[in-house]
Amino acid sequence: MSSSDDDEQSSSMQVAQPKDVSATLKKVKAKLYVERLFAVVVAAWVLRSAAASIATHRQSSHVSKDDDLVYDLGNLYAFDAHPLDIAQLKYDK
């Protein structure tokens, strides 16, 4: 390599000054902060809209039927006092 090649390479490669580096870091940090803030806002919006959608489309699991089972909590049994209709069971198959 000649000395003119060295001069060209050194002039084309600029060394960042510490002041420039700190300014660039501040810009990068600010950009990352904005991007993270935007991601958090979008995530909150998605969660809020999903919760609203679930709340409006969810069917109630509340049953307004009387519970007439007999419970044996010691043995963890529940008994139904109504007779079983075998003919209806065969028909439902």
Backbone angles phi, psi at 68, to 5 degrees: -110, 25
In a domain, 45, yes or no: yes
Domain that holds residue 32: 17-58+67-92
Number of domains in the chain: 1
Q: What pLDDT does 10 receive?
A: 53
| pLDDT value for 14 | 63
Mean pLDDT by 10 residues, the chain (93 residues): 52 62 85 90 91 75 79 89 84 71
Structural element, H or E, at residue 77: strand 77-80
pTM of this structure = 0.38
pLDDT of residue 17: 62
DSSP letter assigned to residue 17: P
Assigned domain for 12 exists:
no
Q: What is the pLDDT of residue 46?
A: 92
Residue 3 falls inside a structural domain: no
6 inside domain:
no
Do 79 and 72 meet the contact criterion of CB atoms below 8 Å apart? yes
pLDDT for 89: 82
